[in-house]
Amino acid sequence: MNLANQNFRANRTNESPRDRAQPSGTQMQRGFKLLEARWKYLKAQESFRRSPLLIASRLISWRARCLLQKPAVIKLSEWDARMFLAAEWRGIEKLLFTFRENYEPEMSCLKTILSPGKVFVDAGANIGIYSVAASKLVAETGRVLAFEPSAQSFPVLKKNIALNRLTNVRAFPVALAQDSGKAWLHRGPNPTLNSLGKDPAWKEEGEEIVTETLDKALERAGIERVDVIKIDVQGAEELVIRGARKTITLERPIVIFEVWPEGALLLGLSPAGAWELLKSAGYEFFEASRGGKVSRTETPPAIGNVVAIHRETKEKPRSWGLSTP
């Protein structure tokens, strides 16, 4: 999860009655801080620094599409893929329309850790950007398993799989978790923020969903190995890892996961629970940057994505400059 999604969370609710009761000067200060944060984010993006007019024009174009409720289909040349985007201003759609392949730096890592024949698990697939990219990289001999429980996002995920005629992707309307059963998925201001943990400021909206452990899901799907797991489940990453103990212990897959302490705390979990579990299992941690480069990190970020790789993994990406045991 990159800085743009931090902006989503910073603005994930409408103003409360208390906010509306604040003096107009205070509201103006909040507005200036919001604009400052957005500008800071834009300036930090390599694609904006390289082509500011293009990025600005895309943002304006997307705003107009949202006002007109006109969805789009964008082309992702790097993966020879297309993505259907619903006309949503607050959500992943704006980022994909604006930044395309540069949506998140971890996307660049996929090219170094995936190759034909490998198996990729997408936990919290949303509308399918990681699943589509992974499908192209693992090719027909590989497999992608996409898990997305939200009734808001799952149909779009299926639409994007069909749009690209992907035959190596299987999509499941299921949330990966620690136990198999059912749970309540709370709906945030946009589907990107839907979570098992409820923010107190959110409305009382949601849906009952099915949960499954990754170990059991792989067994049912007849998948005997996993090479890479991506987990972006709004603070429930620890639960996904607990339900994948067998897979992580035996297969030692590379794990791309989100650290979001606030979301974990809403579930009564440790802010760095996923990190701690993987560390105890022998994993080392890296932060990604544009171009597929990574740097080792010893402490969890305040918020953001982390790439975890087992210290005894033999097939380490050469471009990462890691030693092989």
SS (H, E, C) the chain: CCHHHHHHHHCCCCCCHHHHHCCHHHHHHHHHHHHHHHHHHHHHCHHHHHCHHHHHHHHHHHHHHHHHCCCEEEEEHHHCEEEEECCCCCCHHHHHHHHHHHCCHHHHHHHHHCCCCCEEEEECCCCCHHHHHHHHHHCCCCEEEEECCCCCCHHHHHHHHHHCCCCCEEEECCEECCCCEEEEEECCCCHHHCECCCCCCCCCCEEEEEEECHHHHHHHHCCCCCCEEEECCCCCHHHHHHCCHHHHHHHCCEEEEEECHHHHHHCCCCCCHHHHHHHHCCEEEEEECHHHCEEECCCCCCCEEEEEEECCCCCCCHHHCCCCC
Q: How far apart are CA 185 and CA 198, in angstroms?
A: 8
Whether 149 shows a pLDDT value over 90: the answer reads yes
- Among 1-15, 202-216, 226-240, 261-275, the least confident range: 1-15
Give pTM, 2 decimals: 0.88
Output the pLDDT for position 8: 45
Res. 113: pLDDT tops 60 = yes
Contacts with 14 (C-beta within 8 Å, 6 or more apart), sequence order: 189
Please report whether residue 314 resides in a domain. Answer: yes
Number of Cα atoms under 13 Å in the Cβ half of residue 131: 33
Provide the token pair at 86. 């619903």
What pLDDT is stored for residue 292 in this prediction?
A: 66
Q: Tally Cβ neighbours within 10 Å of residue 277.
A: 20
CB 181 within 8 A of CB 211: yes
Question: What is the token pair recorded at 48?
Answer: 């904006």
Residue 57 CA to residue 55 CA, distance in Å, equals 5
Residue 82 within any structural domain of the chain: no
Containing structural domain, residue 223? 104-325
Give the residue-averaged pLDDT of 59-68. 97
The answer to the question of residue 99 being in a domain is no
pLDDT of residue 256: 97
Asked if 100 contacts 45 with a C-beta cutoff of 8 angstroms, the reply is no
Radius of gyration of the chain (CA): 19
Handedness of CA 256, 262, 266, 270 (dihedral sign): positive
pLDDT at 11 (0 to 100): 47
How much is the average pLDDT of 173-183? 97
- Helices 129-138 + 105-113 axis angle, to 10: 20
Is residue 33 in some structural domain?
no
Residue 170 reports pLDDT greater than 60: yes
Which pair of structure tokens corresponds to residue 164? 């690209």
CATH number of the domain enclosing 153: 3.40.50.150
Please say if the pLDDT value at position 58 is more than 80.
yes
Q: In the chain, how many domains are there?
A: 1
pLDDT single digits (tens) 92-110 = 999 999 999 888 888 888 9
**Residue 41: band (very low, low, confident or very high) from pLDDT cuts 50, 70, 90:** confident
Q: What is the mean pLDDT of residues 112-137?
A: 97
Per-residue pLDDT tens over the stretch 298-319: 999 999 999 999 998 866 665 5
**Would you say residue 22 has pLDDT above 90?**
no
Instruction: Decide if 251 is inside a domain.
Output: yes
Q: Is the pLDDT of residue 32 over 90?
A: no
- Percentage of residues in the chain with pLDDT exceeding 70? 87
Judged against a pLDDT cut of 80, whether residue 6 lies above it is answered with no
Does some domain include residue 68? Answer: no
Mean pLDDT comparison of 86-90, 235-239, 293-297, highest-scoring range: 235-239
> Rounded mean pLDDT of the chain?
88
Tokens of 9: 């969370």
Q: Please tell me the distance from the alpha carbon of residue 127 to that of residue 153, in angstroms, as a whole number.
A: 6
Average pLDDT for 1-12: 47
Domain-located, residue 224:
yes
Q: What is the pLDDT of residues 71-87, one digit of tens each?
A: 999 999 999 999 999 99
Cα gap 94→86, rounded to integer Å: 9
186 contacts 211 by C-beta, under 8 angstroms: no
The answer to whether residues 320 and 286 touch, using CB atoms and an 8 Å cutoff, is yes
pLDDT of residue 28: 74
Q: Kindly state whether residue 281 falls inside one of the protein's structural domains.
A: yes
